[in-house]
Amino acid sequence: MGRPSGARTSTHAALLLTCASILTCASILACGGRANPSAGYLPVPSAPGGASRGVDTTGSSTGAAQTVVPGGGQGAGLSYGSGAVASGANSGEPYGGATGSVVETQEAGAAVTGSVGASSAAPAMIQQAGTCVGWSEDPSLGLLTLNGAALGDVSAAWASSETDIHVVLGADSSVSAPPPASSAMAVAHWNGSQWRADPLGLTGAIGGISGTSGSDLWVLFKESPSGPRILRNKGATGTWTPLPLAAGYSCAFALVVLGPEHALVSARQDCNLLGYSGAVLEYLNGSWKALALPQQPNEPYSLFTLSAFDASHVYGVGYAYGGKMGAFVLDSFVGSAWATGLVPGGWLENVVAAAPDRIYASASNGNDQLYAVSADLASWTLEADTGSTSYSNALVATQKGTVVSAWVSNMIPGSSFSGGPTGGVLGSPVSIVELRGNVGSSCDLLQGFGQLAAVAPPASPFVHLFASGPAGARHWVKRVDP
């Protein structure tokens, strides 16, 4: 089976340490927490600071679709020019300045050779290179509103190309008067020139967005007023229709679409996380089938993330609830059978494959770390150690094999995770590790971020990073491949 259309992405909401002893679905899902153009990419500068947040949509129970053009001007858009960006282009005004200009600078960073070998090998600590450069911010995503509320909460992202990017957004939970629940969430779509917000008409914790194209999108709600469900957008009309989950399953955690009418959903019959392992539900041509997970001795578990390199190579991070609790399990599906392994230490966050024999997992083991994992899941090589600890991670790989992992702590007072007034500062700086082969670099983006999601569109040299913000979602882009 060929490579599924769309970016290889990996985001999730796993249990936090403070929630490890809570064994009800409602409590677990409420914990949130941890949960992929050329060198001339240059976003058009945003409108002056006093510009409107875009077209406000009112008068509908779900809200009409809203469109925002970067810069606020008719016909404006992001430029994907092929020429090199001049050093310091558009860098005269730092982000957050009076005009909200976009920062675009040349890539720089301290390179370090990652270790290769057994899992016990210690890599050189990746040295922080200060504030990241080479990343450009597109401020137009943050202009999207729904029924008057800023769409500032990022849940998940997926892309089929550079001109077909989708981000699930919610109304910022810290605002004093949020919109009705039926109109609090939307899918923001980038078509190459502008963002458009399509209301979902439903609210709840998101398990993922995936698809085969912009007209075949799947969104998994892990929880909603009526339980877990999938919404599908089959066609360009923007109409979301429900797809019932397999009978007998009341908890769902993650979703990945492998092809037309072919998807996997990790799920469990009940939400207690006790006694037995969950399953992976395969949807194929209108029918559901349960696939049993491989067993870990004395460690029942459920997969809380799913990501796919192609339709024959799928990976997931499992949360164990047996002798030791935590996200310690890594599973892979190769061809027709599942395999399983245990991380040698720490708390797994996400997994992505740059190739079937190049698997990478992000973990927290005191510090945020990036591992290379053998295809049989038996050998773990520590490739990067950031020297810091966080609670939200996004991990992607480009089609040329560059791996980008981003971490941020959104557990501090005033963050989108904890709610409440932010005073203009949200979360902490985003720590970013880029790995090309065995050479890595690390840097920090500016402070002011919450929950993360990322995409690496197929055949694109760019990685897109999305983050929650109190005044609207934020979108950063960098060319990471030649």
Name 278's Cβ contacts closer than 8 Å, sequence gap at least 6. Answer: 251, 253, 266, 267, 268, 293, 301, 302, 303
Q: Residue 480 has which token pair?
A: 């990471």
98 within domain boundaries: no
89 within domain boundaries: no
102 within domain boundaries: no
Residue 281 clears pLDDT 50, i.e. is over it: yes
Domains identified in the chain, total number: 1
- Of the listed ranges 60-64, 194-198, 335-339, 360-364, the least confidently predicted one is 60-64
Contact 168, 473 (CB under 8 A): no
What's the Cα-to-Cα distance from 57 to each of 35, 176, 197, 198, rounded to whole Å? 30, 19, 10, 11
Q: Residue 117 has which token pair?
A: 């070998």
Host H or E run for residue 26: helix 25-31
Specify the pLDDT at position 231: 94
- The whole-angstrom distance between residue 208's C-alpha and the CA centroid of its chain comes to 8
Residue 125 clears pLDDT 50, i.e. is over it: no
42 within domain boundaries: no
Which of the pair, 466 or 14, is modelled with greater confidence?
Answer: 466
What's the Cα-to-Cα distance from 100 to each of 93, 97, 140, rounded to whole Å? 8, 5, 11
Residue 104 clears pLDDT 60, i.e. is over it: no
Host domain of residue 315: 17-36+124-479
Contact 49, 72 (CB under 8 A): no
CA angle 162, 391, 266 (to 5 degrees): 65
Q: How large is the average pLDDT for residues 107-125? A: 30
Residues 392 and 206: their CA atoms lie apart, in Å, by 15
DSSP string, 247-291: TT--EEEEEEEEETTEEEEEEESSSS--SS--EEEEEETTEEEEE
Q: Which residues of 261-273 are buried (b: 16+ CB within 10 A; e: fewer)?
A: ebbbbbbbeebeb
371 within domain boundaries: yes
What's the Cα-to-Cα distance from 153 to each of 150, 282, 473, rounded to whole Å? 9, 29, 6
The β-bridge partners of 255 are: 265
93 within domain boundaries: no
Give the tens place of pLDDT for each residue, 151-180: 988 999 999 999 999 999 998 655 444 444
Q: How large is the average pLDDT for residues 24-37? A: 31
Give the tens place of pLDDT for each residue, 223-273: 766 778 999 987 656 689 999 899 889 899 999 999 999 999 999 988 888
201 within domain boundaries: yes
> What CATH number corresponds to the domain at position 296?
2.130.10.10
Mean per-residue pLDDT of the chain: 71
Name the amino acid, one letter, at 209.
I
What's the Cα-to-Cα distance from 41 to each of 78, 102, 218, rounded to whole Å? 8, 12, 29
69 within domain boundaries: no
